[in-house]
Structure 1
């Protein structure tokens, strides 16, 4: 059961990535057919992000009531329906209407799957699963390119991915009973102690954890800030790196585009490689090493040297450094805050992630319009520093809480 369900989760992570890059890949053609300006994509992505944030916050409550298997199936089904809706849309307002279930489906399944993997599987699988998300995100632009190049139209690409999502929905519905049969494994040596059932060895079932309760847990605000900073950094680099290379460093547009895509490919490859060492070195080392590697890459991008090779190498290095941070933060959540509260916290982390990804790129766009594109390395560097400082502070808070709890246990035993 363990291996069968794990294989299904890998497929589910590929499906998570498939819709994520469809809008960007097809929008240069879509906006003309829909009769709206190129900048209208911002409205569409904001609606999708809003739905994703809302469903991320509700994911823990829904999963406690329906179970992770059913929430995953329903969420993927909502995404499939939205993709078919996109494929039949003949006006921009119709696309905006379908963007809401598009985002709602993505947020709920993202939080539910990430929490399930953090509780039940080793750190290597968390990295490899997020690498498979990158595979899905890389495949869909090729589907869109083929559809447009073959004269089938952008709607055909949405329809094709919708069929894939619909097929996965059926498989997920048939496998709902599997999700409760996998025994949890220990996440790290820093696991927060909680009462356990003596016969089953698992935590007792508890109720929904309210948002206000979660936010009062020591360290939660720190991890939200660190996650916000990382996702803001990643999305800003993906959107603006090529423009920075062309407009400020005078790099050839084709070369800049290629290396801009290598940042995303570096994340995908880096997560695959990180999986081989994740269980040995632990989540903390992955997060710390990732931020430091990004910092080194940003420094290389900023160096005022005559050759472009240094800046291009720095961009690839930053992509590799970004790779393990997202999965490591997610995987460390049950260890840092306890298994009972992990889903609620991961849901809020997803919301913080999407908020950072949504807000940071346009903020930089506004700043660069006022001050110049030279600001990009400083902007990224500030986000790296913020993420590193908050994550290190989180480690101290968790260690202090663990030490205080151990002291209290010793006192009670005496």
Structure 2
């Protein structure tokens, strides 16, 4: 029963990924249809992500009252309706209006499912869960590319994705009883957890410290900020960069961006197996180095083929970072405050998604979209430095804690 429920959760995360990559893939065509400025996509993206932040902040109380299954079903219905609204939108104003329920639905699904899997399933499922988000994010541009390269328009692409979302809503509705059964079974398993599995940071001193006062939390928040800044900026402005700077057709550019999401997807699938043999912080470091190498390929004045390799490389590098940072939260800061800190991290992550891509769009509209690869390099480098400084701080604190413990024993 728990495995079947996990399959449903994976399907729900596919639905979460499908809309995330649509706007960036379709915008080169949508922009000309509406006669809009380049930075308008950044504003729409900001509306979606801003609504997601609000939804994430209130999701705790909503989930507690209505349950994960009900909230997930309603949220998917909201995103499906919003995508249908994009199909019919006669003007930019209607796109802005539809962006709000699209973001609200996505935030509730993301927060609810991440928390549910973290609480009720083993660690490697976190990577595979986000791998299935990548499946949706990869399929989105592929589906859109088929429509904008044929006789149909981008509106038909949004209609097709909305249809998939509505189909998932039906599946979720008929499987609602499984959520309560899955919770009961997993709670029984969690009660059998051995005592030595508790985190070493959960001591008496930690009980009285506010989450933001714990050493390293702010550095962790910075890592999430820049990670989502990179991921969202690549997805939103990648097609525009390839069309306007590399002179590629819009349909080809959309397919190349889908390969970026494919890199994230494949990387997270592989990461799920590697977590059995390698620590989270090692996977995070390797991923950041790979992403930095891919960003360098985009930045250097090389032929277009290298840009394709750069997109895929960045995707592969980003793959392990987000799920591993999420899973590392209770290990870094203790189980007592992990849920609160997790909420802070998700809010800051969405903040990065909300403001960094529009910032690039604003700058590009007053200069050139050619600054895209430079921004990617800067974001990845900032994420890497924040993460490494956090690792150094945590290692120093761990050594200090061990020294104090041994002194008490002596």
TM-score class, shorter = 0.7 to 0.9
> d(CA) in 2 for partners of 1:89 and 1:333?
41
Q: Say if 2:131 and 2:269, in contact at 8 Å, map to a contact too.
A: yes
* Corresponding position of 1:102: 102
* 2:189 counterpart of 1:214: no
> d(CA) in 2 for partners of 1:27 and 1:308?
21
CA change 1:91–1:259 in 2 (3 A) is closer
* Corresponding position of 2:4: 4
* Corresponding position of 1:55: 55
1:292 to partner: Cα distance: 0.6
Q: Say if 1:119 and 1:334, in contact at 8 Å, map to a contact too.
A: no
TM-score, scaled relative to structure 1: 0.79
> d(CA) in 2 for partners of 1:241 and 1:143?
17
> d(CA) in 1 for partners of 2:254 and 2:310?
15
Describe the SS at the equivalent of 1:279.
Answer: coil
> d(CA) in 2 for partners of 1:85 and 1:257?
22
1:374 to partner: Cα distance: 5.1
1:342 to partner: Cα distance: 2.8
1:235 to partner: Cα distance: 2.2
* 2:244 counterpart of 1:263: no
* Corresponding position of 2:160: 157
CA change 1:79–1:343 in 2 (3 A) is farther
Describe the SS at the equivalent of 2:223.
Answer: helix
* 2:327 counterpart of 1:331: yes
Q: Say if 2:13 and 2:130, in contact at 8 Å, map to a contact too.
A: yes
* Corresponding position of 2:279: 282
Q: Say if 1:53 and 1:351, in contact at 8 Å, map to a contact too.
A: yes
TM-score, scaled relative to structure 2: 0.80
Q: Say if 2:224 and 2:348, in contact at 8 Å, map to a contact too.
A: yes
CA change 1:285–1:401 in 2 (3 A) is same
Describe the SS at the equivalent of 2:131.
Answer: helix
> d(CA) in 2 for partners of 1:258 and 1:85?
24
Query: Which has the larger displacement, 256-265 or 148-157?
Result: 148-157
Q: Say if 1:115 and 1:342, in contact at 8 Å, map to a contact too.
A: no
Query: Which has the larger displacement, 251-260 or 63-72?
Result: 251-260
* Corresponding position of 1:68: 68
> How do residues 172-187 of structure 1 correspond to structure 2 at under 5 angstroms?
172-177=175-180, 178-182=182-186, 183-184=189-190
> d(CA) in 1 for partners of 2:8 and 2:354?
29
Q: Say if 2:83 and 2:159, in contact at 8 Å, map to a contact too.
A: no
* Corresponding position of 1:293: 290
> d(CA) in 2 for partners of 1:260 and 1:96?
24
Q: Say if 2:47 and 2:354, in contact at 8 Å, map to a contact too.
A: no
* 2:312 counterpart of 1:316: yes
> How do residues 11-410 of structure 1 correspond to structure 2 at under 5 angstroms?
11-24=11-24, 37=36, 40-83=40-83, 86=86, 93-141=93-141, 154=156, 156-157=159-160, 159-177=162-180, 178-182=182-186, 183-184=189-190, 191-194=199-202, 213-244=210-241, 250=246, 252-253=248-249, 258-304=255-301, 307-368=303-364, 372=368, 375-403=371-399
Gaps in structure 1 of 5+ consecutive residues: 196-205
* Corresponding position of 1:200: none
> d(CA) in 1 for partners of 2:345 and 2:14?
21
Q: Deviation per CA, 1:321-376, whole angstroms, max 9, x where unpaired? A: 11111111112122222334333322322222222123222322344455655544
> d(CA) in 1 for partners of 2:103 and 2:395?
36
CA change 1:82–1:165 in 2 (3 A) is farther
1:114 to partner: Cα distance: 1.5
> d(CA) in 2 for partners of 1:90 and 1:252?
28
Q: Say if 2:125 and 2:272, in contact at 8 Å, map to a contact too.
A: yes
> d(CA) in 1 for partners of 2:292 and 2:312?
12
CA change 1:28–1:387 in 2 (3 A) is closer
> d(CA) in 2 for partners of 1:26 and 1:326?
26
1:277 to partner: Cα distance: 0.7
1:404 to partner: Cα distance: 5.3
